Amino acid sequence: MNISYHGHSVVKIETNGTTILIDPFINGNSLTDLVVDDVKPDIIILTHGHGDHLGDTVELAKRHNALVIAVAELEHYLSAQGVERTHGMSIGGAYQFDFGKVKFTPAFHGTGLMQENGEIIYLGMPAGILFMAEGKTVYHAGDTAVFSDMKLIGERHPIDLAFLPIGDNFTMGPEDAALAAEFLQAKQVVPIHFNTFPVIKQDPQTFIDLLTNKNGKVLEAGESIEL
């Protein structure tokens, strides 16, 4: 399994001939190395409905007939936007697909999409993602605060690689993210959701230095890890 990071919270997983994109925020993402016209996902998994995570989902899904997996309210919204292949889930639920198993975990954050008239459409609860394939488990925390049940997530699902937000202001900062890493006991930890906007400017090395298990790695956009 090859897992690569592409700026902000964009993660790509390649497993058994399947390309999975998590939170494909590409257009408008100054830190990504990806170009929408060059990306060909088979599967898109979303943590929540904010624009910097929903991103280019509708365009990519329609262009490539990709299956989009999201919490039920967000899945219904995408169906209404003309996305033909969707699969709705909810927090705590898991489903075994032919490419791997997906489970949604809690995340403490907001959700919703601002419309041109100022109305905010509610798009369900935010989530984290556990993805399991080839005997490995990858955890994408989405946008979240630290919470003590991360210990339970790590105990129930031994994690090989965890992606944790460190940007502060909207999510955990480096100190809380380091505590989250301790709770999760993942074998490797990668920081995400930082430096895209001035308000979430962080030095990722600060987060790495705070890790008690010294198991962190900063990935530049386009860099990958093999599991």
Domain count, the chain: 1
The pair of three-digit structure tokens given for residue 126, joined into one six-digit string:
């935010």
Average pLDDT of the segment spanning 83-90: 98
Work out the angle between the directed axes of helices 57-64 and 72-80 (0-180°, nearest 10).
70
Residues 6+ apart with CB under 8 A from 18: 42, 43, 99, 100
Distance, in Å, from the CA atom of 165 to the CA atom of 219, rounded to the nearest integer, reads 13
Within a domain: 227: no
Residue 158 lies in a domain: yes
CB atoms within 10 A of CB 61: 24
pLDDT computed for residue 32 by the predictor = 98
Choose between 170 and 114: higher pLDDT.
Answer: 170
**pLDDT > 90? residue 116:** no
What pLDDT score does 105 carry? 98
Sign of CA dihedral 27, 90, 193, 34: negative
Asked whether residue 115 carries a pLDDT value surpassing 90, the answer given is no
205, part of any domain: yes
pLDDT for the residue numbered 114: 83
Residue 106 has pLDDT above 90, yes or no: yes
Residue 227: pLDDT band with limits 50, 70, 90: very high
Per-residue pLDDT, 3: 98
Asked if residue 171 is part of any domain, the answer here is yes
Name the more confident of 223 and 113.
223
Tens digit of each residue's pLDDT (9 = 90 or more) over 9-57: 999 999 999 999 999 999 999 999 999 999 999 999 999 999 999 999 9
Residue 118 has pLDDT above 90, yes or no: no
The answer as to whether 88 is a domain residue is yes
pLDDT (0 to 100) of residue 40: 98
Q: Assess whether pLDDT exceeds 90 at residue 209.
A: yes
The range of the structural domain enclosing residue 178 comes to 2-216
Residue 25 belongs to a domain with what CATH number? Answer: 3.60.15.10
Given this model, what pLDDT does residue 206 score? 96
Name the token pair of 216: 């962190």
User: Has residue 194 been placed in a domain?
Assistant: yes
* Domain membership flag for residue 222: no
Q: Phi, psi at residue 200, to the nearest 5°?
A: -115, 30
Six token digits for residue 197: 């906007």
**Whole-angstrom distance between the N-terminal and C-terminal Cα of the chain?**
5
Q: What is the pLDDT of residue 109?
A: 97
Do strands 161-165 and 136-140 pair parallel, antiparallel, or not at all (unpaired)? Answer: parallel
Question: Would residue 47 count as lying in a domain?
Answer: yes
